[in-house]
Amino acid sequence: MEAQKKRVAVLVGCNYPNTANELHGCINDVLAMKETLVKRFGFDDSNIEVLTDAPNSCKLPTGANIKQALANMVDGAKAGDVLYFHYSGHGTRIPSKKHGQTFHHEEAIVPCDFNLITDLDFRQLVNRLAKGASFTILSDSCHSGGLIDKEKEQIGPSSSVQKGSTSKTCYTLTHKTIPYDSIQQHLSSLTKVITTDIGTHLLELFGSSASLRFQTASHALLEALGPDEGILLSGCQADETSADMNPGVAGKAYGAFSNAVEMVVREKEGDLSNREVVVRARKVLQGQGFDQHPCLYCSDENADATFLGHPQKT
């Protein structure tokens, strides 16, 4: 008898309450997505782990906790399983001299403790995924394009896009980004180490749970292995910001991209391909006046595969 195929998800919402970086819609985003996963995509509630920084949260979305949850999901996967990671929170860009490019940047998400999780960490997770399983990442954060290192661009900066205008909504808009300099200053205030190298601060504070991007001699081991089952739907291009919308007392706060995906899924019956989800979400955001352009990074085959559908047998 064929083993039961599983659908497993890790959902992370970071609002950074009572800080200078506070957002308002991120927890709402992942709670709404949890309901959608169960009702529309057949996920079992027991296979969905939610990490938020809400006051009553049983597990905070620290860098170590997020990576442990993702590692458990990936390492427990078997052929045919569908894995999903939804992140709503701040993103940032890290200057890098990789490959001798002085102005090259790496993408990262910002957990509640500032223990950055970088594109290299997501590459490592995809590389160790069981053959025949799929791993979809939806990142509603700034600079999220390219968040899986070396994943092939399907819809992104090289695609023809029409720039939007200032948001037409009456909500308060906050960009989901924390500048690199602000992160560096925060970490240095904790370590008291005098250096401009962010990796030194992260290793000092978090040790082995710091990103692989800052660990010694890790880069050469994490090249892309050719077409893989990693699928990234990003809220914007790598050089853009994603919006967090706060209507105040008038309604519920939300992330613009997360909300657009929810709208696309609700409005279209039947299967949607990964490409369709991103193209339709772009149109929703453009119609709402947002100047951000969701992207898709994955293999050619997965671009037209069903969003959160079981992988096809090979």
Beta bridge mates, 142: none
Cα(236)–Cα(249) distance, rounded to whole angstroms? 27
Question: What DSSP string runs through 201-239?
Answer: HHHHHHGGGS-GGGSTT-GGG----SS-SEEEEESS-TT
Long-range pairs of 192-200 with CB within 8 A, sequence gap ≥ 24: 198/94, 198/116
- Enumerate residues 6+ apart whose C-beta is below 8 A from 64: 115, 206, 209
Catalytic residue (choose from 24, 90, 105, 310): 90
Question: What DSSP string runs through 45-57?
Answer: GGGEEEEE--TT-
Q: How far is CA 220 from CA 98, 225, 244, 256, 264, in A?
A: 11, 12, 36, 36, 39
Residue 170 appears among annotated catalytic residues: no
Question: What angle do the packed helices 63-75 and 119-127 form, to 10 degrees?
Answer: 20
On whether the CB atoms of residues 134 and 82 are closer than 8 A, the answer is yes
Q: Say which amino acid occupies 232.
A: L
Cα(228)–Cα(146) distance, rounded to whole angstroms? 15
Other Cβ atoms within 10 Å of 123 Cβ, number: 24
Catalytic residue (choose from 142, 236, 295, 298): 142
Residue whose structure tokens are 């309450």: 17
Residue 90 appears among annotated catalytic residues: yes
Burial of 16-37, coded b for 16+ CB within 10 Å and e otherwise, reads beeeebebbbbbbbbebbbebb
Q: Which residues are tagged catalytic?
A: 90, 142
